[in-house]
Structure 1
Amino acid sequence: MSPATQPTVPAFEPEFVTALKAIFEEKIVFNQVLGLKVTELRADGASGRIAMRPELIGHFAYNRIHGGAISAGLDAMGGLAVMAALGAKHMDEPPEQRLHRFSRLGTIDLRIDYLRPGIGSHFDLRATVLRLGSRVASTRMEFLGPDGSLMATGAGAYIVS
């Protein structure tokens, strides 16, 4: 579809975005450990950022981020993308009802491909929902260095019911 013929998706309500960010950044404590911050929410995905810190180093000689931090960050972003997609799918419901749907969300499959060493001051993460079914959602994720280079990719499946 050309940009002119793509269907428009209503914007999320500010209270929905605020609540979803709070759940993701504050109530999911492991995301705080990673330092994972939401930078964008879309109807089909989400973006975030991790600032490099000494606690995330996996190889001390090279100041490389640990592969587990990459994997966990991509998994979390995949889940957030699914939350955003669910929120967009059920725009007819009040924000608090849509937020309650996330209590059943969980990872059922995750694949990470490490392409380059994770060296940098910060890392950007992107996740896109490929399919949102009634029981399972599929996502694709990217882990990018400060210069935009692709350092890792991921694919995830999440239970949504």
Structure 2
Amino acid sequence: MNPPKTLPKPAPARALEPEFIAALKEIFEEKIVFNQVLGLKVLSLHADGAIGRIDMRPELVGHYAYNRVHGGAISAGLDAMGGLAVMAAVGAKHMDEPPEQRLHRFTRLGTIDLRVDYLRPGIGEHFELHAKVLRLGSRVASTRMEFFGPDGTLMATGAGAYIVS
């Protein structure tokens, strides 16, 4: 009996340059005003994913009696983080281009489809959002996102598809 064949491991993604990460973070946090409304901050950014944080504020309350975050804020935060993860992946894929040209690709990014599953009420002082690129094609990217409470409890999940060309 022959031993099972193993699939070749994919080549590791090239690391993004610190200046590209800083520029992408600046666009995300400062130039996209809606992300400021959400209070969305980037904690970590790498070639196939991103981690962000939202601090709870009165403007985000969706149910006054329970002080829980509005589902729209959860959905918008997951969507934004999915888009950011895609931009990081696009930036890594096109490392042969100058950083400003790769950043310009951000202007063509758009959400095609978004699905959010709310698993638990969003109650807490802050929330962490994770996004991972599952597939980056020449025209469409697919992502998986997660929304965590302050104790690490998974509160919502999301899946998104983004146009990248």
TM-score class, shorter: over 0.9
1:23 aligns with 2:27: yes
- Kindly report the root-mean-square deviation, in angstroms, between the aligned alpha carbons of the 2 structures: 1.0
Which residues in structure 2 correspond to 1:128-147 (within 5 Å)? Answer: 128-147=132-151
Where does residue 96 of structure 2 map in the other structure? 92
- Give the Cα–Cα distance (whole angstroms) in 2 for the partners of residues 97 and 76 of structure 1: 21
Which residues in structure 2 correspond to 1:79-118 (within 5 Å)? Answer: 79-118=83-122
1:52 aligns with 2:41: no
- Give the Cα–Cα distance (whole angstroms) in 2 for the partners of residues 79 and 42 of structure 1: 13
C-alpha deviation, 1:10, in angstroms: 2.8
- Give the Cα–Cα distance (whole angstroms) in 1 for the partners of residues 40 and 157 of structure 2: 17
C-alpha deviation, 1:12, in angstroms: 1.5
Could you give the per-residue CA deviations for residues 114-152 of structure 1, whole angstroms, max 9, x where no partner exists? Answer: 000000000000000011011100000000000111000
- Give the Cα–Cα distance (whole angstroms) in 2 for the partners of residues 120 and 7 of structure 1: 39
- Give the Cα–Cα distance (whole angstroms) in 2 for the partners of residues 117 and 56 of structure 1: 13
Aligned-partner residue type, residue 111 of structure 1: R
Q: TM-score, normalised by structure 2?
A: 0.93
Aligned-partner residue type, residue 68 of structure 1: G
> Alignment length, in residue pairs?
157
- SS of corresponding position for 1:12: coil
Gaps of 5+ in 2: 1-8
Who wins on radius of gyration, i.e. which is larger?
2
Gaps of 5+ in 1: none
- Give the Cα–Cα distance (whole angstroms) in 1 for the partners of residues 124 and 46 of structure 2: 26
